[in-house]
């Protein structure tokens, strides 16, 4: 097991993400939607940074348990949590936020879930970590950190609020 990012590096990655999103928005309103779980905490921290910079931002959270493509392979279905998007999705420019992008299947599910709330005018993707090995043609526009990993590696992201600490660890199988 190796620590790929320590708390300082995590903080820096979050800053980087916030910067990228802020400049791309060019003064327009920013609608962040974090993907549970952990994508929501990343989105929250990015949201705070954006508000500090004076951006006009809104924050929502999406649970994608009902949109996965792998129920057949699970011995029990995932525990649901609530989604909450208080602003109208129709016509909005949404930035989906997740902690890690890997195969891309989670993002596909998130897009399906998001589109059941309404029809956004544009959707961008922001991820704290991009670890490669895509199986679906999805690419993030905003990336905090790129990581070299093997397909069979496990990447564990810990976040302060949910896990009590900030870290990204790679566990080689």
Partner 1 sequence: MARKDFLDIVSLDRAEIIHLLDQAVPFKDLFTRSVKKVPALKGKTVLMLFYEPSTRTLSSFEVAAKRLSADVTIFDVPHSSVTKGESVRDTIDTLQAMRADYIVVRHRLSGQPAAIARQTNASVINAGDGAHAHPTQALLDAFTLREVHPELPGRKVVIMGDILHSRVARSTSTILDKLGVEVAFCGPGSLVPRTRFKRFTNYDEAMSWGPDAVYQLRVQKERQDAPFYPSDREYHAVYGITEERLKEISDKGIYVMHPGPVNRGVELCDAVLDYDRCLISQQVENGIATRMAVLFGLKPDLKNEPS
Candidates 4-12, 51-59, 116-124, 128-136: pick the segment binding partner 1 (CB under 8 A).
Answer: 116-124
Phi, psi of 60 (to 5 degrees): -130, 170
Binder of partner 1 out of 9, 12, 24, 66 (CB under 8 A): 66
Which residue pairs from 19-26 have beta carbons closer than 8 angstroms and sit at least 24 positions apart in sequence? 20/126, 20/141, 20/142, 20/143, 21/46, 21/50, 21/95, 21/126, 21/142, 22/50, 22/53, 22/55, 24/124, 24/141, 24/142, 25/55
Which CB atom, from 72 or from 148, has the smaller least distance to partner 1?
72
Q: Is 104 in the site for partner 1 (CB under 8 A)?
A: no
Q: How far is the CB of 48 from partner 1 (least distance, A)?
A: 25
Residue 72 has phi, psi (to 5 degrees) of: -50, -30
List 29, 48, 80, 171, residue binding partner 1 (CB under 8 A): 80
CA distance 156 to 26: 33
Q: Specify the residue, 162 or 171, whose C-beta has the smaller distance to partner 1.
A: 162
Minimum separation from the CB atom of position 155 to partner 1 (A): 27
**Edge-to-edge strands, sheet with 93-101:** 57-62, 30-35, 93-101, 122-130, 142-146
- Residue 142 makes contact with partner 1 by CB under 8 A: no
From the CB of 19, what's the least distance to partner 1, in Å?
Answer: 33
The 15-44 contact track toward partner 1, x by CB under 8 A, reads: ------------------------------
Helix (H, G, I), strand (E, B) or coil at 136: coil
Round the CA-based radius of gyration of the chain to a whole number and report it.
Answer: 16
Among 54, 82, 137, 148, binds partner 1 (CB under 8 A): 82
Q: Which is nearer to partner 1, 85 or 143 (CB)?
A: 85
Would you tell me which residues interact with partner 1 (CB under 8 A)? Answer: 63, 65-67, 71, 75-77, 79-84, 112-113, 116-118
């Amino acid at each position: 097991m190796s620590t790929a990012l320590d708390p300082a590096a995590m903080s820096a990655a979050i800053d980087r993400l916030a910067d990228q999103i802020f400049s791309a928005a060019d003064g327009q309103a920013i609608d962040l939607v974090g993907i549970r779980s952990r994508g929501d905490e990343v989105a929250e921290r990015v949201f705070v940074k954006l508000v500090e910079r004076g951006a006009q931002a809104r924050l929502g959270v999406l649970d994608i348990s009902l949109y996965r493509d792998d129920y057949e392979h699970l011995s029990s279905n995932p525990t649901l949590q609530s989604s909450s998007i208080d602003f109208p999705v129709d016509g909005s420019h949404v930035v989906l936020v997740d902690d890690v992008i890997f195969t891309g299947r989670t993002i596909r599910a998130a897009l399906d879930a998001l589109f059941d709330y309404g029809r956004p005018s544009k959707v961008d993707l922001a991820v704290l970590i991009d670890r490669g090995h895509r199986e679906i043609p999805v690419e993030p526009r905003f990336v905090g950190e790129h990581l070299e990993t093997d397909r069979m590696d496990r990447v564990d992201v810990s976040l302060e609020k949910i896990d009590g600490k900030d870290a990204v660890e790679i566990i080689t199988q």
